[in-house]
Amino acid sequence: MKVLKFGGTSVGTPERMQHVARLISREAGTKIVVLSAVSGTTNTLVRISEHLRAGEEQKAAIAIDDLYGQYKEFVRNLLTQAEERKQAEEVLEEHFNFLKNLRKVGFTTLEEKEVLAQGELLSTRLFHLYLQEQQINAVFLPALDFMVIDDHKEPVLDKIQEGLREQLSSFKDKKVFITQGFICRNHLGHVDNLRRGGSDYSASLIGGVLHAEEVQIWTDISGMHNNDPRIVKNTHPIARLSFDEAAELAYFGAKILHPSSILPAQKYNVPVRLLNTMEPEAEGTLIGTETESSGVRAIAAKDGITAIKIKSGRMLMAYGFLRNVFEVFERYRTPIDMITTSEVAVSLTIDDNSHLGQIVSDLSELGQVEVDKNQAIICLVGYQLAEQRGIVTRALESLHHVPLRMISYGGSKHNVSILIDAQFKNEALNSLHDNLFGDQQ
């Protein structure tokens, strides 16, 4: 059995959705198709909830009507048969009535989560109707019946496995299943989600717990590139990556994959293949246990980083200082990405500034605090990178003209991270590319 996940742009127009139906038909055997919302929809739903939360009823109503109009048009172009069109119009009516009738007063996160879920609910129901029109027999598996997270927002693997197995057992002779990415239920049984971009995570969770043969993530780019193709020329897709390398890259900016999505597949050792819907014959990237070569495999960058330095004489020869620092971040549930220390100071980075003010104020009790916003982490990823001589020297040499704020080496064997001011990011990516991959072009 395979899990095939199609992202927002892959189902972004009626033609593309039809194309997805053809792609899944090429794949023999049992498949579970996981869909994102039609591209742009989740963003619009976020806007609608913001209006509702702010009590801007008129603005919410306009945005809902506008989206409704787009979906009516979508359905007209997707389906040709009167029966399926009628059913699709009823589906739209149901979901848009839900949006229109939402409580205008006391709109909370609870309602917001339900609003955000509409995108995946719509895309999967419309796709199911298209398959029905094409006489492709497909079973609808509602994600809200099996995808669950606990009170720390972590997926509950055994419940997901049990729920899925139970549902699948009623359809032993069926080959095509359709389900939603992104959406789930939380520990209270309320509708929730796996955070933005979470459909990849859904696919990996499903593939993992079912011990699938493979998880395919279909997007609009041919695999993970060895550098950011929007910034650097002559990048190319990497044919094979190890789970560890892919996880580092996904986290550090290779936008193709949701950062958590490698973990479940890795846990159950299910290979993940990244493929391009617009270019289905391209080889893409295969992520698995092995890797094919050594050296730097890829370079990635992550923007929007804030560096915080805490300097204190009290740190000198003292124990417990770092614990106090970390506790501040824990208090505000803010993950730390990079960290470097000296005897009298510690520098670390975060990518979520929502509690920056409080964090800085609490840290000030421990020492002198300096904050640098607009930083970028440049990350070099490769198999046992840190054990190979000369690579880091070469990388640092190619950045000789860029001020380096932090260097993190040795945290993982597969990664070296360098923090620089974001204004130097493009320059750094290009010069690293020329120096490290120049002879491969």
Report the candidate in 378, 345, 372 with the shortest Cα–Cα distance to residue 360. 372
Contact with ligand ASP (CB under 6 A): which of 12, 197, 223, 259? 197
Pick one of 3, 5, 6, 7: the residue that binds Mg ion (CB under 5 A).
Answer: 7
Q: CB under 5 to 8 A by kind: which of Mg ion, ligand ASP, none does 37 bind?
A: ligand ASP
Q: What would the two tokens of residue 439 be? A: 């002879």
User: What mask, x for binding ligand ASP by CB under 6 A, covers residues 167 to 186?
Assistant: --------------xx----
- Paired residues of 34 in beta bridges: 5, 179
Which regions of 107-213 does DSSP assign to beta strands (E)? 138-140, 176-180, 183-185, 191-193
If the CB atoms of residues 30 and 44 are measured against ligand ASP, the closer one turns out to be 44
Part of the chain binding Mg ion (CB under 5 A), chosen from 189-197, 293-301, 373-381, 392-400: 189-197
CA 379 vs CA 86, 164, 253, 370: distances in Å: 51, 37, 9, 23
Q: What does 417 interact with, of ligand ASP, Mg ion, none (CB < 5 to 8 A by kind)?
A: none
Q: How many CA atoms lie within 13 A of 37 on its CB side?
A: 24
- C-beta of 119 vs 223, nearer to ligand ASP: 119
Q: How far is the CB of 197 from ligand ASP (least distance, A)?
A: 5
Query: Contact with ligand ASP (CB under 6 A): which of 4, 6, 8, 382?
Result: 8
Would you count residue 123 as binding ligand ASP (CB under 6 A)? no
In degrees, to the nearest 5, what angle opens at C-alpha 357 toward C-alphas 42 and 50? 25
Q: 418 near 404, Cβ under 8 Å?
A: yes
- Please report, for residues 104, 222, 415, the alpha-carbon distance to residue 388 in angstroms, rounded to integers and kept in the order given: 60, 29, 12
Q: Among 17, 37, 209, 379, indicate the residue that binds ligand ASP (CB under 6 A).
A: 37
**Residue pointed to by tokens 């019946």:** 145
Using the rule CB under 6 A, is 260 a contact of ligand ASP?
no
CB of 7 to Mg ion, least distance (A): 5
Both structure tokens of 120: 């995946």
* CA 362, chain centre distance (Å): 31
Is the separation of the CB atoms in 223 and 280 below 8 Å? no
Q: Residue 201 and residue 225: Cα distance in Å, rounded? A: 20
Say how far apart CA 262 and CA 268 lie, in whole Å: 10
Stretch touching Mg ion by CB under 5 A, among 5-13, 374-382, 397-405, 423-431: 5-13
Shortest approach of ligand ASP to residue 271 CB, angstroms? 20
DSSP assignment of 245-281: HHHHHHHTT-TTS-GGGHHHHHHTT--EEEEETTSTT
163 binds Mg ion (CB under 5 A): no
Q: Which stretch binds ligand ASP (CB under 6 A): 194-202, 247-255, 332-340, 353-361?
A: 194-202
How many DSSP H helices and E strands does the chain contain?
A: 13, 16
- Cβ neighbour number for residue 133 with a 10 Å cutoff: 19
Q: Among Mg ion, ligand ASP, none, what binds residue 119 when CB lies within 5 to 8 Å by partner kind?
A: ligand ASP
Pick the piece of the chain touching Mg ion (CB under 5 A) from 155-163, 196-204, 280-288, 314-322. 196-204
Residue from 197, 198, 271, 284 touching Mg ion (CB under 5 A): that is 197
Which partner in Mg ion, ligand ASP, none is near 259 (CB below 5 to 8 A by kind)? none
Considering only residues 41 through 60, tell me which ones interact with ligand ASP, judged by CB under 6 A: 42
Which residues are near ligand ASP by CB under 6 A? Answer: 7-8, 36-37, 42, 119, 181-182, 196-199
Which residues are near Mg ion by CB under 5 A? Answer: 7, 197
